[in-house]
């Protein structure tokens, strides 16, 4: 190669390098200008793109496992607005049978459910399928099946239904105990009938109890939008695992207000497995009555702890009695888990199978002790006395009014009677009596305990009205209940 050709070649190489640097610089400046124009840095955009992609992947993974549940039931409507007035024995004596008639019509409702097994088991809320005469399940792929109720548990507001199908997209059930406040969660359901709606939020709180929704409460609170129709739907974590069954909202308008509640997946799983295996929910039983610890009580019992469940009584020959638990013991741990209050202990015991040997840590006389308790099966008859008589007080649960209950509910010492602990929705007394009412008289007969209550209620006829004296919220009130 000649000297002139060599020089020309070097010049061209240098020119290419310079041109590349200039173009690269211009492109870099252009990217910076674009970033400045949008006001969003490249790193932020990359993070949001990954976040969006992650949420979309979770949503696509879990949507097929959520179903639409529609139910139908027959409702009786009274045409005559004065019918109850004329049902009074005084008016019937002079005017005979009341005029008018009842009209029946079909009522439909919508809810959600979650497929938890490939062979067709579905978890939902008890209130979604309660009293339903027909249940239709619509899948994500638009197939529709008839649903059959396998079992329900009103105490946790859970129900298990089954459809005749195979190879369904079942969701993976996660460990709700591992959830942390602040974690991102998605709620999936059918609010207002809008199929497979997904909303996002965080875990606002855990272990919510004393909400007044169910007997056993350990709710996950979330700000993910939950509306009517979401009941029974899925609350999932970022791994696409079921961590809760959406159950209720706190609202003054009937719609979303930023507070929703979900039943933890661990509680739902225990209830579901018991229903599928035994056809009912079998709960563990310790055999104690308990109350929350207060600073005043802690001082009297020489206790430094601020959390726990104080034993107020031990049932004779119960698992607790056999293990050596005594009145005045403070239970601070159950099976290795911290006991915060009475609600948390009650849930732990209920979710532990009967026959399980557990370690219970207590504080007695200022010292910690560990006792081993073999749990029994919860005897329903000990929870509260229920009236099974076919009269106006059917479906009313009562229990003896103890000094501990009086103190807890701020009931004066002089008040005697039986405490109303629950009233079934279809009971004639559901609109007249309230939970925590103290029944003192029935038909002018004094009621001091559950034996008095049973004796008087057993003599009430099917079509007989009753007059009840109750103590409620600091005052006395006469109530009439008609059949």
The pLDDT value given to residue 387: 52
- Whether 93 shows a pLDDT value over 60: the answer reads no
More confident site: 211 or 179: 179
Q: Classify the phi-psi angles of 366: left when phi > 0, otherwise alpha if psi is within -120 to 50, otherwise beta.
A: left
pLDDT band at 85 (very low <50, low <70, confident <90, very high): very low
- Per-residue DSSP letters for 238-263? TTSEEEEEEEEE--SSSS--S-EEEE
Contact 376, 385 (CB under 8 A): no
Give Cα separations from 461 to 52, 349, 392, 393, 449 (angstroms): 65, 39, 9, 10, 21
The pLDDT value given to residue 191: 83
C-alpha to C-alpha distance for 336 and 329, rounded to whole angstroms = 17
The topology (CATH level 3) of 43-95+106-281 is: Thrombin, subunit H (2.40.10)
The topology (CATH level 3) of 284-379 is: Pdz3 Domain (2.30.42)
Mean pLDDT of 291-318: 83
- Whether 382 shows a pLDDT value over 70: the answer reads no
Number of helical H runs and strand E runs in the chain = 12, 29
Highest mean predicted confidence (pLDDT) among 31-40, 174-183, 298-307, 397-406: 174-183
Per residue in 149-167, pLDDT tens? Answer: 999 998 899 999 999 999 9
Closest CA to 147 of 173, 113, 181: 113
Mean pLDDT of 32-40: 57
**Token couple for 409:** 């509910």
Mean pLDDT of 226-249: 89
More confident site: 316 or 29: 316
Contact 202, 243 (CB under 8 A): no
The pLDDT value given to residue 102: 58
- CA trace torsion 423, 426, 427, 431 (10° rounding): 80
pLDDT band at 5 (very low <50, low <70, confident <90, very high): low
Mean pLDDT of 263-290: 90
Supply the pTM of this predicted model. Answer: 0.65
Contact 293, 309 (CB under 8 A): yes
Rounded to 5 degrees, what angle do the CA atoms 193, 195, 201 make?
A: 100
**Token couple for 151:** 């079992």
The pLDDT value given to residue 106: 76
**Token couple for 141:** 């792929």
The pLDDT value given to residue 257: 72
- Whether 182 shows a pLDDT value over 70: the answer reads yes
Long-range contacts of the stretch 378-385 (C-beta < 8 A, 24+): 378/282, 378/283, 378/284, 378/285, 378/350, 378/354, 379/285, 382/315, 383/421, 384/421, 384/422, 385/418, 385/450, 385/453, 385/454
Per the listing, tokens 């239904």 go with 161
Per residue in 268-280, pLDDT tens? Answer: 999 999 999 888 8
- Whether 65 shows a pLDDT value over 80: the answer reads yes
Closest CA to 66 of 224, 197, 192: 197
Q: If you average pLDDT over every residue of the chain, what do you get?
A: 82
- Whether 253 shows a pLDDT value over 70: the answer reads no
Q: Of how many residues is the chain composed?
A: 483
- For the chain, the domains span 43-95+106-281, 284-379, 384-481
- Whether 411 shows a pLDDT value over 70: the answer reads yes
**276-293 burial code (b ≥16 CB/10 A, e <16):** eeeeebbbbbbbbbbbeb
Closest CA to 135 of 123, 125, 149, 124: 149
Contact 145, 69 (CB under 8 A): no
Per the listing, tokens 């103590």 go with 471
- Per-residue DSSP letters for 142-179? S-EEE-EEEEEETTTTEEEEE-S-SS--PPEE--GGG-
Mean pLDDT of 369-388: 73
Least confident of 195-199, 211-215, 342-346, 458-462: 211-215
Cite the active site residues: 127, 157, 231
Where are the extended beta strands (E) located within 16-147?
66-78, 102-115, 121-124, 134-138, 144-146
Mean pLDDT of 427-436: 87
- Whether 189 shows a pLDDT value over 70: the answer reads yes
Cα-to-chain-centroid distance, residue 212: 10
Mean pLDDT of 371-393: 73
Highest mean predicted confidence (pLDDT) among 41-55, 171-185, 198-212: 171-185
pLDDT band at 80 (very low <50, low <70, confident <90, very high): low
- Whether 364 shows a pLDDT value over 80: the answer reads yes
More confident site: 254 or 115: 115
Least confident of 87-91, 120-124, 183-187: 87-91
pLDDT band at 234 (very low <50, low <70, confident <90, very high): very high
Mean pLDDT of 221-236: 88
**Token couple for 469:** 């004296």
Per residue in 98-135, pLDDT tens? Answer: 545 556 767 788 899 999 999 999 999 999 998 888 99
The pLDDT value given to residue 401: 85
- Whether 223 shows a pLDDT value over 50: the answer reads yes
Q: Do domains 284-379 and 384-481 have the same CATH topology?
A: yes
C-alpha to C-alpha distance for 290 and 161, rounded to whole angstroms = 35
Per residue in 432-477, pLDDT tens? Answer: 898 889 999 998 899 988 878 888 888 888 888 899 999 988 888 8
The pLDDT value given to residue 451: 78
- Whether 389 shows a pLDDT value over 90: the answer reads no
Give Cα separations from 106 to 125, 145, 365 (angstroms): 21, 20, 62
What are the respective helix, strand and coil percentages of the chain, to the nearest 5?
Answer: 30, 35, 40
C-alpha to C-alpha distance for 182 and 238, rounded to whole angstroms = 12
Least confident of 293-297, 334-338, 364-368, 385-389: 385-389
- The hierarchical CATH code for the domain 384-481 is 2.30.42.10
């Amino acid at each position: 190669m000649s000297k002139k050709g060599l020089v020309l070649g070097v010049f061209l190489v240098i020119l290419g390098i310079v041109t590349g640097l200039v173009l690269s610089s211009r492109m870099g400046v252009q990217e910076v200008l674009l970033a400045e124009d949008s006001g969003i840095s490249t790193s932020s955009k990359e993070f949001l793109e990954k976040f969006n992609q992650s949420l979309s992947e979770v949503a696509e993974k879990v949507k097929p496992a959520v179903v639409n549940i529609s139910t139908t039931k027959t409702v009786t409507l009274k045409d005559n607005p004065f019918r109850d007035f004329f049902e009074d024995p005084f008016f019937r004596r002079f005017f005979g049978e009341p005029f008018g008639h009842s009209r029946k019509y079909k009522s439909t409702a919508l809810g959600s459910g979650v497929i938890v097994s490939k062979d067709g088991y579905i978890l939902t809320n008890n209130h979604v399928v309660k009293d339903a005469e027909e249940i239709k399940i619509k899948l994500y792929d638009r197939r529709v099946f008839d649903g059959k109720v396998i079992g329900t548990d009103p105490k946790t507001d859970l129900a298990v239904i089954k459809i005749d199908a195979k190879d369904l997209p079942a969701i993976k059930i996660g460990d709700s105990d591992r959830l942390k406040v602040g974690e991102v969660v998605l709620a999936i359901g059918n609010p207002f009938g809008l199929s497979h709606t997904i909303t996002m939020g965080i875990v606002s709180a855990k272990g919510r109890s004393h909400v007044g929704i169910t007997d056993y409460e350990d709710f996950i609170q979330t700000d993910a939008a939950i509306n009517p129709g979401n009941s029974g739907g899925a609350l999932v974590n970022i791994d696409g695992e079921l961590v809760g069954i959406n159950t209720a909202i706190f609202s003054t308008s009937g719609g979303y207000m930023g507070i929703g509640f979900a039943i933890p997946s661990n509680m739902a799983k225990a209830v579901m497995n018991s229903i599928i295996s035994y056809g009912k929910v079998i709960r563990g039983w310790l055999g104690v009555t308990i109350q929350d610890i207060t600073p005043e009580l802690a001082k009297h019992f020489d206790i430094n702890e601020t959390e726990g469940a104080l034993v107020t009584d031990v049932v004779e020959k119960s698992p607790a009695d056999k293990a050596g638990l005594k009145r005045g013991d403070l239970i601070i741990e159950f099976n290795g888990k911290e006991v915060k209050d009475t609600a948390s202990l009650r849930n732990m015991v209920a979710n532990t199978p009967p026959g399980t040997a557990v370690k219970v840590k207590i504080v007695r006389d200022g010292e910690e002790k560990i006792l081993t308790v073999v749990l029994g099966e919860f005897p329903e008859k000990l929870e509260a006395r229920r009236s099974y008589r076919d009269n106006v007080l059917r479906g009313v649960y009562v229990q003896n009014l103890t000094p501990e209950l009086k103190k807890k509910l701020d009931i004066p010492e002089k008040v005697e009677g039986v405490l109303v602990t629950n009233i079934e929705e279809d009971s004639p007394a559901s609109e007249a009596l309230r939970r925590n009412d103290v029944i003192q008289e029935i038909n002018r007969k004094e009621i001091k305990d559950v034996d008095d209550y049973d004796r008087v209620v057993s003599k009430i006829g099917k079509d007989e009205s009753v007059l009840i004296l109750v103590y409620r919220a600091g005052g006395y009130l006469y109530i009439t209940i008609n059949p």
